[in-house]
Structure 1
Amino acid sequence: MSNTVVTKKRRWPYIVGGILALLVIIVAVVLWRLDAILLKTARDQAATYSQKLGRPIEIGDISTRLFPTIGAEVENVTVGPAEGEEVPLAQLASIDVRVAAGPLLSSRGKDIQVKNAEVSGLTVNVVRFPDGTTNVQRLMKRLDEQSPKEEEKPEEEQQPTDLSGVHVERAALTDGTIRFIDRSGGQQARELAVKDLDIEVKDLRAGKPLVVDLAAAVLADQQNLKMALNAAPLPPTLVPTPERITLKANRIDLSPLGPFLPPDVGLQAGTLDADWQADLGGAVPGGKGPTRVAGVIKALGMRFAGSEGGKALDVVLDTDVTGDIATGDLALDKLNLDLGPASITGKGRVKGLLTETPAVEGFELVGKNLDPAAIAEYYPPLRKQLKGMIAGPIGLAVRGSGTQNEQAIDVDVDLTPVRLSVPDQLSKAAGGAMRLSARLTGAAASGGALRFTADANMDGVDMRPGLLVNKAPGQRMQVNAAGTYAPSKSGSGMKVDVPKLTANLLEDTVTGSASYATAGQGKKQTTTFTADVKSQRLDADALLMSEEEVLARTGGTPPPEPPPEDPARFNGYRGDIRFAINSLRYTKMDMTNVTGVVKMTDDLITVEKFSSGLYGGKVVADGTTIRLGPPPEKRPFDAKVKVEGVEMAQALTQFTPKEVLTGKFNGNVDVKGVGYTPDQLQQTLLGAINGNILNGALLGKDLVASVSEPLAKALPFASKALKAGESTSLGEVLPFGVEIKNGVAQLERPLSWTRPEAAMSFSGGIRLDGTLDLTGGVTLTPSTIKTLTLGKVTPPEPIPVGMKLTGKAWKPEVTGIDVKPAATTIAKLAASSLAGSLIGGERGKQVQGLIEGGEEKARAEAEAKRKELEAKAAEEKARLEAEAKKKAEEEAKKRLRGLFNR
């Protein structure tokens, strides 16, 4: 029994060993199959991308490991040549990535410790062909042709990704090579290379400073270029904030690179030397502390094709400059920039510019021979880039000045000698006045803001090429401002206050104050502003170009529509504008005592207050709104206007070729719509106009005379039409109300008024194009009938005549006059009167009664006819509204079909 137990005890090591051996075999088989599966998947993907790139992609092998690190190594990757090419685009010896298995598994993928991520033996071949193109350009063109054109959509705001669980101990590119092969000269190929390219990052993780080192042998056998980027301790997002950039280059010959640069550069010779460092500090978002730039960058003997006389361009930047944005310190221990014949030099110090007691010590920054045309003699591609927009020496001078108690920096930029021609913007001849002078002094006593004054003179500028401002050379355009500037404490914004602002615009002067501030970054940035503008007189019609002037400058061709803009471009804007202008001329309207307050919230413009004298009366537009985000043809508006004592004759001539009505108007205009052109408004304008016309007259037609003439002709006895006038009086007070719907202004109730000679009543409407569609009639008084019949008939009651008023409002037409019932009534009354006088006595009265009975019938028929015409007008109104509703429904269906592409 005991022997049996001992035997069993000794057997367990063999069992465990067998199990472990089996596990090892299983793992080996899994790894072997895993490598094969991954390799097959990678090659299938490579085949897909080979078709897309037009180049064969080959993958040599993939090997994986699971313990103690999880990783993979990809070997011998090649992106081959395209059809007609001989050299592969890229070759890669290996990619090796290893991640610690224990932390990854125990944290369920949250703790990612990359032990090493290394790319080795990368070679990129850039080949220039006889036609001047390169294989890289051909690849980019193919990708661009195959990429689907997608509509730009506003990016959705995303929360920053927390990568604090990622730790990369080392990431590197080692032994890289970029070969430049020039086959443009025929069979004999020239070859050069950037070799021994190394890029390395160590200890990349949240809370640690980032250091990226780059070294390469540029067109040399040994490394002659070194760059380093140092960043502040990384945040959880691992997005770096650069602190220092270092560049060292040891006499790199740039000449061999010429053929591989774009052909229009034309580089033929030149060398590069650099020993330069920039401590960025607060000059970058999120950075802190002073900024210092020190060292030398030299690009010497730069010769370009087409330069005059083979001139060589020397570019030298030699700096030792320190500045601190937070305090306003700037030290120019050395600043020399030589750009061929041009140069900028600086020296001196400024201390505490953003404090109450600044100090200026011999500060000077001066530009000499800053003439782009002269530089273009050395670098011809500059001519093409400038497109003739600028030529002539630019004057630049910044100097410290003032007494010990009042020190300042004076800035002077003089473009007067310069010729400017900016397409679709402005132009200026050499010698035309254009100058900016500014003075900067220390911070104001209230909280560290830089004080400034600025004077800008643009008298010599022609603004008309921009097709907006109608300012010719020699006309006055000057701006004078004084205020303060202060950066925000967070470094992500600023504020500018301008309590004194004067603008001389042509013959007018505008004064006021303004402020502007920004805060935050990206989509969370907010912009706030205020402005308070005053002027005794402002002729906006003279300052702004009319449509006729625009067409005259474009040869009769309307300017192209601007590209669509982002509807959300005004998000984050908050501000208000106040204005008070004693006399304003705008769109041929002369307004007086114009005051208002306009507020902006995102793209919504709200007129909180607006009041103006206009056409002898007063207009108030409080509560009017418009949205600026949509394109002009889709901008919704809601206009609320109160009108008092406005002369109708003057007001309507803005919309009609001649006067339509006289009299004063008191009332309210409450309309809304989308767009601004007549075609758009005919489809979208809705609302109502209600009020009274005082002592008004309808011009262009005497309605009473228009009825009397056909009536006189219809009578069976001698009669005489009333003398025609040129207008129809509307009485002392004519109340009216119209409802605007689908491009038609329909009367809410009939227009009715009474004159000594007649009473008039009309219903119907008027289209926005000025077409009248009014139905009603003129009811002639007994005295008018007596005059018309030369005293033969004096009816006991007024007699109605039905009619329609059509045509344009400024040239009305009277149609559909039905004088038969009225003529019958008058004829019977005349016969009755004649019978009574001839027969006399009781018998005559009986005969007269019989005839007058017929007259009553005729009067009833006339009244019935009038009501029939009004009923037809009501039916026509209902028909028009139904058609408009159907049209709107069909338009909505079309938009839906367009929305769903069906």
Structure 2
Amino acid sequence: MSNTVVHKKRRWPYVLGGILALLVIVVGVALWRLDAILLKTARDQAATYSQKLGRPIQIGDISTKLFPTLGAEVENVTVGPAEGEELALAQLDSIDIRVAAGPLISSSGKDIQVRNAEVSGLTVNVVRFPDGTTNVQRLMKRLEEQSPKEEEKPEEPKQPTDLSGVHVERAALTDGTIRFVDRSAGTQARELAVKDLDIEVKDLQAGKPLVVDLSAAVLADKQNLKMALHAAPLPPTLIPTPERVTLKAEHIDLAPLGPFLPPDVGLQAGTVDADWQADLGSAVPGGKGPTRFAGVIKALGLRFSGAEGGKALDVVLDTDVTGDVAVGDLALDKLNLDVGPASITGKGRVKGLLTEKPAVEGLELVGKNLDPAAIAEYYPPLRKQLKGMIAGPIGLAVKGSGTQDAQAINIDVDLTPVRLRVPDQLTKDSGASMKLTASLTGAAASGGALRFTSNADLDGVDLRPGLLVNKAPGQRMRVNAAGTYKPSKSGSGMTVEIPQLTANVLEDTVTGSASYATAGTGKKATTTFTADLKSPKLDADALLMNEQEVIARNGGVPPPVPPEDPARFNGYRGEIRFNVGALRYTKMDLSNVTGLVKMTDDLITVEKFSSGLYGGQVVADGTSIRLGPAPEKRPFDAKVKVQNVEMADALTQFTPQKIMTGKFNGNVDVKGVGYTPERLQETLLGAINGNILGGTLLGKDLVAAVSEPLAKALPFAAKSLKSGDVTSLGGDLPFGVEIKNGVAQLERPLSWTRPEAALSFSGGIRLDGTLDLTGGISLTPSTVKTLTLGKVTPPENIPVGLKITGKAWKPEVTGVDVKPAATTIAKLAASSLAGNLIGGERGKQVQSIIQGGQEQARAEAEAKQKELEAKAAAEKARLEAEAKKKAEDEAKKRLRGIFGGK
């Protein structure tokens, strides 16, 4: 029995071993199947991208590992040649990634420890074909053609990604090669290579400095290029802040690379040597401490095709420069930059520029032969890049001066010898005056901002090519400013305060103060500004080009309107105050112009505006406009109060001649979209209400115009009234118009009384000046007596219906219906004659019968006038219905566009 028990106890090792063996087999099979599944998935993806790139992508094998590290190795990846090519674009021996399994599993994927991430044996073949293109250029073009154009969407704020749980012990590219194969000369290919390319990063994790090392053998058998990037301890986002960059190059021959550069470069020969280091410090966003550039970079014997006389260009940068932006220190122990015949040299020191009393020790920065045209003789592509915009030596000098207690840095830039041709902006001939002088005198004690003064002489500049400012060469334009400059602590913005600003422009002078500040980058960038400007007089008509001048300078045709980005003003915030004693603008003479205009993104709001105009006063508080949309789509809302403005002068801005006299008091409250007459006829809405004091309508005497056909219609001799081509509007004429559908429609009949007649009209006037008024003129008894040469003096007014059409400056009286009035006057004449002839009671009876006919005639005249008014109301309703239907149709079209309909 005991033997049986021992025998059973000894069986458990075999059972456990069998279980372990089974697990090993299961895991092996799982890994084998996993590798196969991953390989199939990767090859399927490769086939998809092969179609996209137009190049076959092949993957040799994938192997995975689960313990003690999770890892995968991809082997023998090839991006093959496109159709018509022979060499593969890229080949890769292996990609090996290993991640510690224990921390990854125990932390649920938060603790990612990458033991190794290595790319080995990468070879990239850059092939230049007989047509001058390369396989890389062809690939980029194909990608560009296939990439869908995505609509720009508003950027949503995102929280920075916390990658503090990521630790990469080593990441590297080893034994890389970039082969350059030149087939442009024929079938015999020339080859060169950048070999032994190694890039390595070690111990990448939050809280530790980052070091990236790169070395390569550039067109040589051994490594002759070394670069290193050192960054500050990484934040949780792992976004580096560079601190130091070093570069070492040992006599790299550039000539073999020439054929692989863009053809317009034309590099034929040259060498590069470098031993240079940049300690970036606070010169980069987020950096701290001083900045230093030390060492030498030499590019010698650079020869380019087309160089005059085969001249070789030497470019040498030799520096030992240290600066600290935070306190304003600068040490130019050595600064020599030579570019062919041009050079910039510097020496000296500045201490405490951002303090109250800076110290300047022998500072000097001088430019010699800074002539882009002269450099282009060595480097011909520069001519194409400059496009003839600049030629001639630029004068540059920076020097320190002053006493121990009052030191300054003086900057002089002299462009007088330079010829400038900036397309669509400005031109300047050689010898025409253009200078800039500035002086830096240390920081203010309170804010640590750098104080400066600057003077710009632009007398020799021609700004007319910009088709905006009408300043010819020789006309005065000088700007003097004094203020402070302060960079932001983040390094992504600045603040400029200018408490003293003077601009002498043509014959006028503007003084005041201004400020300008920027912050942020990209879509989050903001620009804040203020200005407070004053001028005793300003002739904007002389300074700004009008439409006729623009067309004349543009060859007789209107310049094309460039496409505009509706969001181009996003981030702008500011306000401008102004006070101008006398302003000439669009042939209007304004006086005592004061205002405050604010800007928020593209919205311009007139907070305050007041001006004397045409003998009266205009206030436009609350007016607004959006600048973002194209001009024909810009919405505006105008709110204007007017007092005692002379109508004769005001209306001539919109009509070819005067149409009315008198003074206007009232309010203009209109809104619309666009500025052209065509757009305003479709979009302008609003109302104008007020009073015309002592007004007259020029161009037509309405009473006389009615009297002539009436006189002809009478059965007895009569004489029309003498026309003075003027219609008095009385002492105080209230009126109100509603602007809609391109018509200023009277809100209520326009009625007034004068000694000759009582006048009343309804209807409106189109924005193009076309009149459409319907109404009547009731002739007073005295007027009828004069008209009938004393034969008839009616007991009350005699009405005559009519219409007023034509242009406002040349009105036409039409539709005059004199029949009822002529009948009434004729019956009154007959009644008077009968009473005189018959006499007594019988005569009174005859007069009563005739006068009954007069009542009927007057009723007919009134009915006719009501009929005309009803027709005018019906026409107004028809126009409103048409506009409503048009708006509905437009809305339906937009909806169909939104939902993809046709």
TM-score w.r.t. length of structure 1: 0.98
Matches within 5 A, 1:846-865: 846-865=845-864
Equivalent residue, structure 2, for 1:693: 692
Q: Which residue of 1 aligns with 2:397?
A: 397
Supply the distance in 2 between the matched residues of 1:847 and 1:155 (Cα, whole angstroms): 93
Following TM superposition, by how much is the alpha carbon of 1:2 offset from its aligned partner in structure 2, in angstroms?
5.5
What is the CA-CA distance between 1:8 and the residue it aligns to?
Answer: 4.1
> Which aligned pairs between 1:414-493 and structure 2 lie closer than 5 A?
414-493=414-493
Shift of residue 488, structure 1, vs aligned partner: 2.7
Q: CA deviation at 1:779?
A: 0.6
Structure 2 CA distance for aligned equivalents of residues 129 and 606 of structure 1: 60
Deviations 1:546-578 (A, max 9, x none): 1100100112222111222142x3333322211
- Deviation of 1:153 after TM superposition, in Å, equals 3.6
AA at the equivalent of 1:896? L
Mean Cα deviation higher: 741-750 or 378-387:
741-750
Alignment match, 1:182:
182
* Other-structure match for 2:638: 639
Q: Distance in 2 between matches of 1:751 and 1:8?
A: 124
**C-alpha contact 1:367 1:395 (8 A) present in aligned 2:** yes
What is the SS of the residue equivalent to 1:829?
A: helix
> C-alpha displacement at 1:359, in angstroms?
0.3
What aligned pairs does 1:162-561 form with structure 2 within 5 A after superposition?
Answer: 162-561=162-561
Shift of 1:680: 1.9
Q: Quick check: 1:112 aligned with 2:106?
A: no
Match of 2:706 in 1: 707
Deviates most, 514-523 or 172-181: 514-523
Q: Distance between the aligned counterparts of 1:747 and 1:881, measured in 2?
A: 14
The percent identity for this pair of structures is 85
CA deviation digits over 1:740-765, x for unaligned, max 9? 12222111111000010000001111
Determine the C-alpha separation between the residues in 2 that align with 1:518 and 1:79.
Answer: 46
Secondary structure of the structure 1 residue equivalent to 2:825 = helix
Q: Distance in 1 between matches of 2:525 and 2:388?
A: 37
Q: CA deviation at 1:102?
A: 1.2
Aligned residue pairs, count = 901
Q: CA deviation at 1:371?
A: 0.4
1:211-262: per-residue Cα shift (whole Å, max 9, x none)?
Answer: 1100000000000000011111111111111111100000000000001101
| Change in CA separation of 1:4 and 1:709 when aligned onto 2, cut-off 3 Å | farther
The answer as to whether partners of 2:401 and 2:410 remain within 8 angstroms in 1 is yes
CA contact (8 A) 1:348 1:362 kept: yes
Distance in 2 (CA, whole Å) between partners of 1:699 and 1:160 is 72
2:759 match:
760
Partners of 1:816 and 1:596 in 2: CA distance: 49
Deviation at 1:669, TM superposition (A): 0.8
Contact kept, 8 Å, 2:53 with 2:139, in 1: the verdict is yes
| In 2: Cα distance, 1:12 partner to 1:644 partner | 112
Greater Cα offset, 611-620 or 634-643? 634-643
CA distance in 2, matches of 1:788, 1:340: 98
Counterpart contact for 1:217–1:224, Cα < 8 Å: yes
SS for the counterpart of 2:10 is: helix
Contact 1:396 1:414 in 2 (8 A): yes
Matches of 1:351 and 1:95, distance apart in 2: 53
* Residue-by-residue CA offset, 1:371-392 (whole Å, 9 max, x unaligned): 0110000001101111110000
Deviation at 1:7, TM superposition (A): 4.3
Q: Structure 2 regions of 5+ residues with no counterpart?
A: none
Would you say the 8 A contact 1:116–1:168 is kept in 2? yes
**What residue is the counterpart of 2:57 in the other structure?**
57
Query: Mapping of 1:610-621 within 5 angstroms?
Result: 610-621=609-620
Distance, in Å, in 1 between the alignment partners of 2:373 and 2:490 is 42
Alpha-carbon shift at residue 490 of structure 1 (Å)? 4.0
Amino acid at match of 1:514: A
Give the deviation of 1:849 after TM superposition: 0.9
Kept after mapping to 2: 8 A contact 1:640/1:669: yes
* Partner-residue secondary structure (3-state), 1:891: helix
Specify the alignment match of 2:27 in structure 1.
27
Residue of structure 2 in register with 1:830 after alignment: 829
Return the offset for 1:3.
5.3
Alpha-carbon shift at residue 24 of structure 1 (Å): 1.2
Residue equivalent to 2:14: 14
Contact between 1:167 and 1:203, CA under 8 Å: does it hold in 2? yes
- What CA RMSD, in Å, does the superposition of the two structures yield over aligned residues? 1.3
Q: What is the aligned partner in structure 1 of residue 806 from structure 2?
A: 807
Cα shift at 1:6:
4.3
Aligned residues of 2:155 and 2:523 also touching (Cα < 8 A):
no
Instruction: Give the secondary-structure state (helix, strand or coil) at the position aligned to 2:11.
Output: helix
**Post-superposition offset of 1:676:** 2.0
CA shift in 2, pair 1:867/1:4, >3 Å: farther
- My pick for the range that moved more, 308-317 or 834-843, is 834-843
Tell me the residue number matched to 2:40.
Answer: 40
Distance in 2, matches of 1:93 and 1:450, equals 57
1:199 maps to a residue whose letter is I
* 1:133-176 Cα shifts (integer Å, max 9, x gaps): 11111112222222233333443332221111111111110000
Matches of 1:491 and 1:423, distance apart in 2: 33
Deviation at 1:326, TM superposition (A): 0.7
The answer on whether the counterparts of 1:53 and 1:142 sit within 8 Å (CA) in structure 2 is: yes
- SS of equivalent to 2:885: helix
2: distance between equivalents of 1:157 and 1:629?
A: 23
CA deviation string 1:352-385 (max 9, x = no partner):
0000110000000000000011000000110111
Measured in 2, the distance between the counterparts of 1:501 and 1:605 equals 24
Say whether the 8 Å CA contact 2:285–2:490 is kept in structure 1: no
In 1, Cα distance between the equivalents of 2:447 and 2:387?
Answer: 46
SS at match of 1:633: helix
Partner of 1:665: 664
Aligned to 1:743: 742
Q: 1:74: which partner in 2?
A: 74
Alpha-carbon deviation of 1:126? 0.8
Residue 653 of structure 1: aligned partner = 652
Matching residue's letter, 1:565: D
Moved more, 695-704 or 883-892: 883-892
Amino acid at match of 1:342: A
Map 1:720-799 to 2 at 5 A: 720-799=719-798
1-side partners of 2:376 and 2:396: how far apart?
Answer: 19
Partner of 1:577: 576
How far residue 29 of structure 1 moved from its aligned partner, in angstroms, is 0.7
SS of residue matched to 1:83: coil
In 1, Cα distance between the equivalents of 2:886 and 2:2?
A: 106
Matches of 1:171 and 1:330 in 2, distance apart? 38
Q: Do 1:194 and 1:218's aligned partners in 2 also have CA atoms closer than 8 Å?
A: yes
Corresponding residue of 2:159? 159
Q: Does the 8 Å CA contact 2:89/2:135 hold for their aligned counterparts?
A: yes
- 8 Å CA contact 1:666–1:692 kept in 2: the answer is yes
Contact 1:747-1:764 at 8 Å conserved across structures = yes
Verify the 8 A CA contact 1:702 1:727 in the aligned structure 2. yes
Q: Structure 1: where are the runs of 5+ without partners?
A: none
**Secondary structure at 2:72 match in 1:** strand
- Provide the C-alpha distance between the structure 2 equivalents of 1:157 and 1:675, rounded to a whole number of angstroms: 34
Counterparts of 1:56 and 1:171 in 2: how far apart (Å)?
28
Q: Provide, for residues 284-312 of structure 1, a one-character-per-residue CA deviation record: whole Å limited to 9, x for no partner.
A: 11111111000000000000001011100
Q: What's 1:845 paired with?
A: 844
- Compute the displacement of 1:4 (Å): 5.3
The residue correspondences of 1:78-117 to structure 2 (distance < 5 A) are 78-117=78-117
Q: 3-state DSSP class of the match of 1:462? A: coil
Deviates more, 1:215-224 or 1:841-850: 841-850
CA offset at residue 518 of structure 1?
2.5
Counterparts of 2:522 and 2:185 in 1: how far apart (Å)? 49
Q: Is the 8 A contact 1:157 1:523 kept in 2?
A: no
